[in-house]
Amino acid sequence: MIPFNVPPFIGKELKNIEKSIANNKICGDGEFTKKCHELIEKMTNCKKALLATSGTHALEMAAILSDIKPGDEVIMPSYTFVSTANAFVLRGAKIVFVDIRPDTMNIDEKLIEDAITDKTKAIVPVHYAGVGCEMDEICRIAKKYNLIVVEDAAQGVMGFYKGKALGTIGDFGCFSFHETKNYSMGEGGAVLVNREDCIEKSEIIREKGTNRNRFLRGQVDKYSWVDVGSSYLPSDMNAAFLCAQIEDPTIINNARIAIWNRYYDNLKELQEKGVITLPFIPENCTHNAHMFYIKAKDINERTELIDYLKQNGVLSVFHYVPLHSSEAGIKFSRFHGEDKYTTAESERLLRLPLYYGLKNDEVDHVCKCIYKFYENQL
């Protein structure tokens, strides 16, 4: 069986974890957490990076930083992971979904302006598959209406838009280091704070609402409760694991890009013949090979293909039942405009195995199975 995902492991992680234990400091904000902050800041050129306990928690921190209040509206795509919406619903927001672009599966920037009301507070673009949203246009709209932009860059680590790292273009960016993402610490994430005026507040939110960070820097002689917050900092052992992978992020990135390109080259004939659709990367985006997907004709063909691949030892998956049609989505959200692509395109999409360590002959096997499945259409 070729699994769909294997958590990244490059071999230097255990040594780091041993070191973190030897440091007698396994709680948060130890040596490796600090090192991860520096590495992420270097990798992305962001003002401030703070490790969090998950991508979900990074989004929750961003929602608090955005000062979302009950009744505020937040615009995002419906084709995303539940956490994108949940983080804002937890603060009392109403979610307003708009349709996606069928080419990238990202929010359609041309539909955002029409969804804005006097209650709108933020726009949350999701960089699906590590491919950047049209950020120039999104930021132009945000500026015009005085809205906050929170980038859900959970899938976007080492992805770029016009040379800028995903997660550093809006007010706040959120990374995930879950085991299914390109870089991992098991469970983890990071919030990128791109606004100087929010850095101190982000440290306070992450440290249970206290100014402990100022205390650690010697700026105050005791620390106390100063604002709302929670415990969003991960253990230094988890940071040690991640640190090994992002010290040189190109190791994992290059390997993933090579796999992605191999899939693309192998399968492009099927696209040329109009049998399947392959991912599209806009000119101004550098993607990070977070995902390789294909699109079948419709949901029935996709179901048959999943079964066929499984019979041939390949595990492929789909995801994201559009949030507006889910039980909670009906309660907490509305869909603005027409659902032209969100449901229809999500039903066609199939994700193929892609992980650090996937071998060339395994990629070739997956592709051979797909050709075999479509044999009579060629």
Ligand X SMILES: *Cc1c(COP(=O)(O)O)cnc(C)c1O
Q: Which of 65, 111, 154, 246 binds ligand X (CB under 6 A)?
A: 154
User: Which of 62, 267 has the CB closer to ligand X?
Assistant: 62
DSSP 129-183: GG----HHHHHHHHHHHT-EEEEE-TT-TT-EETTEETTSSSSEEEEE--TTSSS
C-alpha dihedral, 344 to 345 to 349 to 355, nearest 10°: -140
The least CB distance from residue 301 to ligand X, in Å, is 25
Binding mask 232-251 for ligand X (x = CB under 6 A): --------------------
Q: Are 49 and 40 in contact (CB under 8 A)?
A: yes
Is residue 106 near ligand X by the rule CB under 6 A? no
Q: Specify the stretch interacting with ligand X by CB under 6 A; choose among 77-85, 194-202, 212-220, 275-283.
A: 77-85
**176 - beta bridge partners?**
189
CB-nearest residue to ligand X: 55
Stretch that binds ligand X, among 28-36, 49-57, 68-76, 356-364 (CB under 6 A): 49-57
Q: Minimum distance from CB of 77 to ligand X (Å)?
A: 10
Q: Please select the residue that binds ligand X; options are 81, 97, 161, 172, rule is CB under 6 A.
A: 81
299 and 193 Cβ atoms separated by less than 8 Å: no
Measured in whole angstroms, how far is the alpha carbon of residue 169 from the centre of its chain? 14
3-state secondary structure of 370: helix
**126 binds ligand X, rule: CB under 6 A:** yes
From 147-155, 271-279, 303-311, 324-332, give the range in contact with ligand X by CB under 6 A: 147-155
Q: What string marks each residue from 318 to 337 as x (binds ligand X by CB under 6 A) or -? A: --------------------
| Residue count, binding to ligand X (CB under 6 A) | 14
Q: Does 84 engage in binding with ligand X (CB under 6 A)?
A: yes
Q: How far is the CB of 211 from ligand X (least distance, A)?
A: 27
CB nearer to ligand X: give 234 or 249: 234
If you ran DSSP here, which 8-state letter would residue 312 be given?
T
Stretch that binds ligand X, among 62-70, 75-83, 113-121, 326-334 (CB under 6 A): 75-83
CB contact at 8 A, 137 and 154 = no
* Residue closest to 366 by CA, chosen among 273, 268, 263, 275: 263
Q: Which of residues 170-189 bind ligand X (CB under 6 A)?
A: 176, 178, 189
Binding ligand X (rule: CB under 6 A), the pick from 152, 171, 236, 347 is 152
Stretch that binds ligand X, among 50-58, 61-69, 236-244, 304-312 (CB under 6 A): 50-58
CB 159 to ligand X: min, Å: 12
Going from the C-alpha of 18 to that of each of 24, 43, 59, 126, 236, the distances in angstroms are 10, 25, 30, 36, 11
Angle CA 177–130–237, to nearest 5? 10
Rounded distance between C-alpha atoms, residue 208 and residue 204, angstroms? 7
Among 16, 20, 66, 80, binds ligand X (CB under 6 A): 80
CB under 6 A: which stretch of 150-158, 164-172, 306-314, 332-340 binds ligand X? Answer: 150-158
Beta strands in 189-340 (DSSP E): 189-193, 285-286, 292-295, 333-335
Q: Helix, strand, or coil here: 348?
A: coil
Question: Which CB sits closer to ligand X, 126 or 141?
Answer: 126
Q: CB 197 → ligand X: shortest distance, Å?
A: 25
| For helices 250-272 and 360-373, angle between their N-to-C axes, nearest 10 degrees | 20
Q: Which residues bind ligand X (CB under 6 A)?
A: 54-56, 80-81, 83-84, 126, 152, 154-155, 176, 178, 189
